[in-house]
A = this chain, B = another copy of it.
């Protein structure tokens, strides 16, 4: 007694799955959920009842804004381990996004609290050439956080193997295109004593030994996390526009005090904005 699973029309399947007819057709087009059969003469889609659970899974994943290609990966996962890994990584991204959102909300409140934003203290400094270990890449703004964390690990590792202390706090330079296109060259660096050279294997991993150019900079201290960086940039850049002439060189940040675990409010960053040397 073999009883095949009955098939239903797209409208009926829609009621069984809470997916709209349009959506079902779309999932067919993109290969997420192929009908069990298609009438060759009329083109009518026929869905089998055993496709219902699969549709329910798709619905949940899509409700969590998982991108369609990823949903496809989950559905095609060879085993539960691979499947759960994909799902978990998506949930982690959602967590990260939530944390970011919380930061932005806090920063928004701050901005609206009408504390007339203490006028930023800006000083002009002539900075000498600085030997550093550096890791360089063209990075999109969205990836910058993760990329910098990796780069920093590389730098620390290189540093640990040359029997020298860092000659100052970590930092990074950010090219103009990074701001204008949300993607540009970034150089993560850590100052080293003159003459220090990384091991060949660190060089192979991407660590360079270079010198940061010296010159004149307008400098301001940024307090707190990344969500408020724009305010310091705005104030510092405005100051430069008013009182000096900017240069097309990369902006430099020096992370004197990092965030304390989850609390970004203790962070201290010096922002160096390159300006024309006064004659």
Count of residues in A whose CB is under 8 Å from the partner chain: 52
Shortest Cβ distance from residue A116 to the other chain B in the assembled complex, whole angstroms? 11
Whether A121 sits at the interface, judged by CB under 8 Å, is no
**A230: contacting residue among B20, B21, B56, B233, CB under 8 A:** B56
CB pair A12–B241 under 8 Å, yes or no, is yes
Contact residues of A: prevailing secondary structure: helix
CB pair B21–A181 under 8 Å, yes or no, is yes
Whether A242 sits at the interface, judged by CB under 8 Å, is yes
Q: Which residues of B contact A111 (CB under 8 A)?
A: 53, 56-57, 60
CA distance A18 to B63 in the complex (A): 31
Whether A101 sits at the interface, judged by CB under 8 Å, is yes
Whether A258 sits at the interface, judged by CB under 8 Å, is no
CB pair A16–B61 under 8 Å, yes or no, is no
Q: A6-B242, A108-B87, A230-B56 are in contact. Are A237 and B15 (CB under 8 A)?
A: yes
CA distance A176 to B20 in the complex (A): 10
CB pair A234–B17 under 8 Å, yes or no, is yes
Whether A59 sits at the interface, judged by CB under 8 Å, is yes
Whether A11 sits at the interface, judged by CB under 8 Å, is yes
Whether A104 sits at the interface, judged by CB under 8 Å, is yes
Q: Which residues of B contact A12 (CB under 8 A)?
A: 237, 241, 246
Residue of B nearest to A83 (CB): B112
CB pair B105–A179 under 8 Å, yes or no, is no
The 5 closest A-B pairs by CB, nearest first: A18-B230, A16-B237, A52-B234, A60-B108, A63-B104
